[in-house]
Amino acid sequence: MKPETFLLHITQNSAWETAQKNGFYTAPSLETEGFIHCSTPAQVVATAERFYAGQRGLVLLVIDSERVQAEVKYEAGSDKPDELFPHIYGTLNLDAVTRVLDFASDPTGKWVLPPL
């Protein structure tokens, strides 16, 4: 998988476990905003800092965008209109998820991207 073809999505480990039971992954934003938020590797740490401060039990879904069955669009972020973020417009098929990595901040609260 080429680096430019993968997306990252931050979620609770419990949500990933539910997805495995359901046979697909979804996120609350799919219902409220119409898509699942994702990030590129260059964006994911800043995303974690903005939206996941202090949270525990997170995982990082490594998604092969070429395997995603729903439409993927790159769109401006609501709080970062000059930056394009990948959005998945539908549920995520599990076979598009190539790896699931533990995702946590260090002891000082700084987020660290695990080796991809």
DSSP string of 55-84?
--SEEEEEEETTT--SEEEEEE-SS-TTSE
In tens, the pLDDT along 53-75 reads 889 999 999 999 999 999 999 99
Q: Give residue limits of the domains in the chain.
A: 3-103
Strands of the sheet with 84-89, listed across from one edge: 36-37, 84-89, 71-76
Other CB atoms within 10 A of residue 78 CB? 9
Question: Model confidence at 4, in pLDDT bands (50, 70, 90)?
Answer: low
Q: Find out if CATH 3.20.170.20 is the number for domain 3-103.
A: yes
Report the chain's terminal Cα–Cα distance, integer Å.
11
> Span 22-39, mean pLDDT?
95
Percent of the chain predicted with pLDDT > 90: 79
Tell me what pLDDT residue 109 has: 87
